[in-house]
Copies of this chain bind each other. A is one copy, B any other.
Amino acid sequence: MAGNSIGQLFKVSTFGESHGVALGGVVDGTPAGLEISEADLQIDLDRRKPGQSRYTTQRRESDQIKILSGVFEGKTTGTSIGLLIENTDQRSQDYGKIKDVFRPGHGDYTYWHKYGLRDYRGGGRSSARETAIRVAAGAIAKKYLKQFHGIEVRACLSQLGPIKAENYDWDEVENNLFFFPDASKLEALDDYMRDLKKQGDSVGAKVKVVAKNVPVGLGEPVFDRLDAELAHSLMSINAVKGVEIGDGFDVVEQKGSEHRDELTPAGFTSNHAGGVLAGISTGQDIIASIALKPTSSITIPGNSINTENEAVEMLTKGRHDPCVGIRAIPIAEAMMAITLMDHLLRQRGQNPHVHHEHGPINGSVD
Contacts and interface: CB of A to CB of B under 8 A. Distances in A.
A39 interface: no
Given A68-B20, A221-B79, A255-B202, A5 B28 contact: yes
A53 B77 CA distance: 33
Contact of A349 (B107, B202, B348): B348
Contacts of A82: 15-16, 22-24
Interface in A197-239: 201-206, 216-217, 219-225, 227-236, 238
A96 interface: no
A365 interface: no
A79 B17 contact: yes
A317 interface: no
Nearest to A147: B353
Question: How often does this chain occur in the complex, in copies?
Answer: 4
Given A78-B114, A110-B216, A243-B242, A69 B3 contact: no
A159 interface: yes
A75 B351 contact: no
Contacts of A347: 1, 114
Given A26-B26, A82-B16, A291-B249, A354 B32 contact: yes
A106 interface: yes
Interface in A63-112: 66, 68-70, 72, 75, 77-82, 84, 102, 104-107, 109-111
A17 B69 contact: yes
A7 B70 CA distance: 22
Given A117-B354, A228-B235, A130 B222 contact: yes
A70 B28 contact: no
Contacts of A222: 3-4, 14, 125, 130, 236
Interface string A6-37: 11111111111100111111101101110000
A345 B235 contact: no
Contact of A254 (B75, B252, B272, B294): B294
Interface in A104-139: 104-107, 109-111, 113-119, 123-126, 130
B69 A20 contact: yes
Contacts of A124: 72, 77, 79
B280 A111 contact: yes
Contact of A249 (B24, B125, B249): B249
B125 A77 contact: yes
Contacts of A28: 1-5, 13, 15
Given A1-B31, A22-B68, 10 more contacts: A5-B26, A15-B26, A24-B26, A79-B221, A105-B260, A113-B283, A228-B236, A248-B249, A254-B294, A308-B357
Q: 3 closest Cβ contacts across the A-B interface?
A: A107-B278, A3-B220, A116-B354
10 contacts: A3-B225, A4-B222, A15-B82, A107-B280, A126-B278, A201-B257, A202-B256, A203-B256, A309-B358, A345-B349
